[in-house]
Amino acid sequence: MPDLNQRNPRLATYLIQNSIWWVEYAGLSGIRVDTWPYSDKAFLTEWARRLVEEYPALNIVGEEWVTNPAIVAYWQRGSLRRDGYQSYLPSVMDFPLQDAAIKGLLEDEGWGTGLDRIYTMLANDFLYGDPHNLVIFPENHDMSRIYTQLDERFDLYRMSLVFFLTTRGIPQLYYGDEILMANPGTDAHGVIRSDFPGGWPDDEVNGFSGRGLAVRQREAQELTRAHLHWRKSATAVHCGKLTQFAPEGPVYVYFRHDDRHKVMVVINKASEARPVELARFDEIIGDISGADEHGIDVITREHYALDESFEVPASTALVLELR
Cα gap 256→238, rounded to integer Å: 9
Per-residue pLDDT at 306: 85
Q: Which residues are catalytic?
A: 34, 63
Per-residue pLDDT at 307: 82
Q: Where in the chain is the domain with CATH 2.60.40.1180?
A: 239-322
Per-residue pLDDT at 290: 52
8 A C-beta contact, residue 182 and residue 145: yes
In CATH, which superfamily holds the domain spanning 9-237? Glycosidases (3.20.20.80)
Q: Is the pTM of this model over 0.75?
A: yes
Per-residue pLDDT at 4: 94
SS percent in the chain: helix, strand, coil, step 5: 40, 20, 45
Assigned CATH topology for domain 239-322: Immunoglobulin-like (2.60.40)
pLDDT in tens, the chain (323 residues): 788 999 999 999 999 999 999 999 999 999 999 999 999 999 999 999 999 999 999 999 999 999 999 999 999 999 999 999 999 999 999 999 999 999 999 999 999 999 999 999 999 999 999 999 999 999 999 999 999 999 999 999 999 999 999 999 999 999 999 999 999 999 999 999 999 999 998 999 999 999 999 999 999 999 999 999 999 999 999 999 999 999 999 999 999 999 989 999 999 999 999 999 999 999 998 755 455 678 999 999 999 988 888 999 999 999 999 98
> CA 66, 68, 72 angle in degrees (round to 5)?
70
Per-residue pLDDT at 287: 57
Query: What are the strands, taking DSSP E only, across the chain?
Result: 30-33, 59-62, 91-92, 135-136, 170-171, 241-248, 251-257, 262-268, 274-277, 294-297, 303-305, 309-312, 316-322
Per-residue pLDDT at 233: 94
Phi, psi of 304 (to 5 degrees): -120, 120
Cα gap 179→217, rounded to integer Å: 5
Per-residue pLDDT at 269: 98
Per DSSP, the chain holds a count of helices (H) and strands (E) of: 11, 13
Cα gap 197→300, rounded to integer Å: 29
**C-alpha distance across the termini of the chain, in Å:** 54
CA atoms within a 13 Å half-sphere pointing along the CA-CB vector of 245: 23
Per-residue pLDDT at 308: 83
Q: Where in the chain is the domain with CATH 3.20.20.80?
A: 9-237
Cα gap 98→118, rounded to integer Å: 9
